[in-house]
């Protein structure tokens, strides 16, 4: 942190804004970026001058470690604008801590808090016109770090690039989500990197997910790789199961991401008087509950979709359709959480932070 | 393959060569690259014009999928020059097949054989001055493919870049290699991507390997993630164990890379009359054999180091030093294999292919 504490952020403004080219009501998640990005390089042990500059492609050596050995981590977070045009972040300290936890696991340097937070705040102020007001609107934030050092020796890089991108996001209705319970493929190993937001964890899921897509399922719920008997997470979301009136979700572990939406929903549910049980959930329990009618809901929880209700699941070639539930916990928790995030309800948890 | 079969490779030659700046006798593995590289882009389902051009950095969008989701695969292979200045490859078909197997597992397009092989051959001819003659000299070849499509949605990219880099390599004496048997961290999950040369597999090992380094060990031998009782591979090498006069090595699986050096050594050993047993090897067997003196050798097998003898291993805080062996299988097999690769001995296996 020492090198950066008193460093000014160098700001290079774009000559013009692209904002008028964007249809904010019909934007595809993650496809459009704001006028500027934040960048800070780490060269041979020292963080360089943090910079905000126009969003643009950058040069990288063909032998850069990120291309060959996947040394890369990221975070996903959101900014919101209240009715008074103030900008708010949701639990940014949690993303910051998790980012550095991921960095350590991938043998990358930790990003100093001043670089991460001041960089983010200054970038948000500069591109604040891109944050739209109202429930369902937000600005998705993508901090990430890649190994830029050249050379194809299989060892950690000396040089890294930390960047923050901003992308306008609309609450999306993802349609009816049917999921496949994984019986062969896996997301994470014991003693592996499943708890890190490491780039390689995601590409590893693309092929098994494409097989699920071809079979008519939008997502996969991963199970433990050794026995495929325990429900873990959905890759970009943690998963909750409602059996009768209790919410179940797997404990986080070195295989399961410590989701910020997940832990926020647990707290909201408890405040609402909903029984929450954090313990390993067996596939066999889920199947039994689906068969006897006690399984009321399944939903995913993550920054992008917030809460994603699941219509049904398939396991061993049998599809289990979930009942339509009045008083859905998914709807209740989503409403409570998004109202806090959008500053439309009181934040008794102290989760929202003004930029 | 259709789009490329009759496509000429576009060749842009470097204005001058860097070759005179290189100290070929003291080159660090993977740090120096030749004057040119081969490149072919895949855009929305179609391979574009293959190109050979001067080695140089290239532009990429900050939201390119490779940075965020680790969609990247590679191969490692070598070219050799015989006494008549002919250039030879070692089992290039095996690398080509494995490259595409890795690509499929990472939801990436397969590279057509003409693009891969003709690109490699033309590049080698153009930069052939970089291949030095004699035992121990080779040119390391790094084919790789990255997801270049922009957008941070967690799904496979539409666009990819396939490249081949060349790097002069010297046989290296890595010093005395002591290894740590993994007791907590793991390399691969059942149903994961351990059998693919996917970028993310490598960065995942950097942190546990750095812990091993700090404890005085140069490498880690990974064990199965569920029980940590079975010996798997060393991350950049497969591993062989000699107990009495039998060589043991784990069968390849979805967790263990199907190493080309590994399978070549098995065939050479069998031809030399050495008993080879391909079956799961337990850590407990290794410890017992070390204790009763029947463990004679451990060595790694991979393209970069070819054969890497191991001096000893640590397990549960106990270090087991291996005996000095006359008639070492590691030395014999390395000599036989490198003589074939360098065209200094007859290649009765038909492994070497002239460029």
Query: Mean per-residue pLDDT for A98-126?
Result: 98
pLDDT at residue B141 greater than cutoff 60 = yes
**What number of C-beta contacts closer than 8 Å exist between A and B?**
227
Q: How far apart are the first and last CA of chain A?
A: 21
Specify the length of chain B in residues.
355
Cα distance between residue B45 and residue B109, in whole Å? 8
Averaged pLDDT score across all residues of chain B: 95
pLDDT at residue B1, rounded to an integer: 31
What pLDDT does residue A173 have?
64
Please tell me the predicted confidence (pLDDT) of residue B66. Answer: 98
CB contact under 8 A, B62 and A58: yes
What pairing do the DSSP bridges indicate for beta strands B177-181 and B306-315?
parallel
Could you count the other beta carbons within 10 Å of the beta carbon of residue B216? 10
**pLDDT tens, B21-39?**
999 999 999 999 999 999 9
Quote the percentage of chain A above a pLDDT of 70.
97
Q: What is the pLDDT of residue B171?
A: 76
Which has the closest alpha carbon to A226: B193, B191, B187? B191
Average pLDDT over residues B72-93: 97
A163: nearest CA partner in chain B? B62
In this chain, the answer to whether the domains covering B10-170 and B177-341 adopt an identical fold is: no
Which chain B residues are closer than 8 Å to A303 by Cβ? none
What tokens appear for A354 in the block? 């003004």
Model confidence at B325: pLDDT above 90: no
Q: Which of B100, B139, B200, B218 to mutate to test the interface with A (most CBs of A within 10 A)?
A: B200
Spell out the residues 6+ positions from residue B151 whose beta carbon is closer than 8 angstroms to its own.
A28, A30, A31, B63, B65
Place B305 in a pLDDT band, splitting at 50, 70 and 90. Answer: confident
Using 50, 70 and 90 to split pLDDT, how confident is the model at A6?
A: very low
Q: What is the CA radius of gyration of chain A?
A: 21
Which among A64, A67, A145, A162 is the top mutation candidate for probing chain B, defined by the most B β-carbons within 10 Å of its own β-carbon?
A67
Kindly report, residue by residue over A282-313, the tens digit of the pLDDT.
999 999 999 999 999 999 999 988 999 999 99
Residues in chain B with CB shorter than 8 Å from the CB of A31 are 150-151, 153
User: Residues B47-60: what's their mean pLDDT?
Assistant: 98
pLDDT at A93 over 80: yes
What rounded mean pLDDT belongs to chain A? 95
DSSP state letter for A268: H
Question: Does pLDDT of B128 surpass 80?
Answer: yes
Contact B189 A184 (CB under 8 A): no
Q: What is the mean pLDDT of residues B134-155?
A: 95
**Residues forming beta bridges with residue A220, ordered by sequence position:** A180
pLDDT digits (tens, 9 = 90+) for A247-290: 999 999 999 999 999 999 999 999 999 999 999 999 999 999 99
Residue found under tokens 């989503």: A334
pLDDT digits (tens, 9 = 90+) for B162-185: 999 999 998 766 678 999 999 999
Residue A186 near residue B190 (C-beta atoms within 8 A):
yes
User: What pLDDT does A134 receive?
Assistant: 86
Segments making up each domain of chain B, as ranges: 10-170, 177-341
ipTM of the complex, rounded to two decimals: 0.96
pLDDT reading at A55 higher than 60:
yes
Q: Locate the chain B residue with the closest alpha carbon to A210.
A: B107
Q: What is the pLDDT of residue A305?
A: 87
Half-sphere exposure of residue A154: CA atoms within 13 angstroms, side-chain side:
26
B207: chain A residues, CB-CB within 8 Å:
104-107
Contact A163 B62 (CB under 8 A): yes
What's the average model confidence in pLDDT over A17-42?
96
Q: Under DSSP, is residue B270 helix (H, G, I), strand (E, B) or coil? A: helix
Q: How confident is the model at residue B7 (pLDDT cuts 50, 70, 90)?
A: low
How far apart (Å, rounded) are the C-alpha atoms in residues A292 and A244? 11
| pLDDT at position B2 over 60 | no
Residue pair A231/A281 in contact by the 8 Å Cβ criterion: yes
Q: Is the CB of residue B24 less than 8 Å from the CB of residue B170?
A: yes
Is the pLDDT at B133 greater than 60, yes or no? Answer: yes
**CATH 3.20.10.10 applies to domain A177-341:** yes
Task: Render A114-140 in DSSP notation, one character per residue.
Answer: HHHHHHHHHHHHHTGGGPPBSTTEEEE
Confidence of residue B282 (pLDDT cuts 50, 70, 90): very high
Q: What DSSP assignment string belongs to B312-327? A: EEEETTEEEEPPP-SS
Question: Is A44's pLDDT higher than 60?
Answer: yes
Architecture, CATH, for domain B10-170: 2-Layer Sandwich (3.30)
Looking at the partner chain, which of A61, A165, A202 has a beta carbon nearest the beta carbon of B69? A202
Gap between the Cα atoms of A262 and A333, Å rounded? 11
Query: Residue A70: which of B33, B60, B200 has the nearest Cβ?
Result: B200
């Amino acid at each position: 942190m020492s090198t950066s504490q008193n460093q000014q952020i160098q700001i290079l403004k774009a000559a013009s804004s692209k904002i008028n080219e964007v249809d904010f009501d019909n934007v595809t998640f993650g496809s459009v970026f704001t006028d500027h990005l934040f960048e800070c390089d780490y060269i041979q042990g020292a963080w360089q001058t943090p910079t905000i500059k126009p969003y643009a492609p950058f040069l990288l050596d063909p032998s850069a470690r990120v291309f060959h050995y996947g040394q890369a981590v990221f975070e996903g977070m959101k900014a919101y604008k209240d009715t008074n045009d103030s900008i708010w972040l949701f639990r940014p300290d949690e993303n910051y801590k998790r980012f550095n936890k991921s960095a350590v696991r991938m043998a990358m340097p930790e990003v100093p808090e001043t670089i991460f937070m001041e960089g983010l705040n200054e970038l948000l102020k500069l591109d604040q016109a891109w944050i739209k007001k109202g429930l369902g609107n937000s600005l998705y934030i993508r901090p990430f770090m890649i190994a830029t050092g050249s050379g194809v020796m299989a060892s950690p890089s000396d040089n890294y690039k930390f960047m923050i991108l901003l992308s306008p996001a609309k609450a999306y209705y993802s349609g009816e989500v049917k999921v496949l319970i994984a019986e062969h493929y896996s997301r994470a190993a014991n003693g592996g990197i499943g708890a890190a937001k490491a780039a390689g964890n995601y590409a590893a899921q693309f092929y098994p997910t494409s097989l699920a897509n071809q079979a008519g399922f939008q997502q996969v719920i991963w199970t433990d790789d050794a026995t495929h008997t325990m429900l873990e997470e959905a890759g970009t979301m943690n998963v909750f199961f409602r059996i009768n009136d209790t919410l179940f979700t797997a404990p986080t572990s070195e295989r399961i991401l410590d989701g910020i939406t997940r832990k926020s929903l647990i707290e909201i549910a408890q405040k609402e008087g909903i029984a929450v049980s954090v313990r390993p959930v067996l596939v066999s329990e889920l199947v039994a509950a689906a068969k006897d009618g006690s399984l009321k809901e399944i939903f995913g929880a993550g920054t992008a979709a917030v809460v994603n209700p699941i219509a049904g699941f398939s396991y061993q070639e049998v599809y289990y359709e979930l009942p339509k539930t009045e008083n859905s916990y998914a709807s209740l928790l989503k409403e409570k959480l998004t109202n806090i995030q959008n500053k439309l309800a009181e934040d008794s948890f102290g989760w929202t932070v003004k930029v």
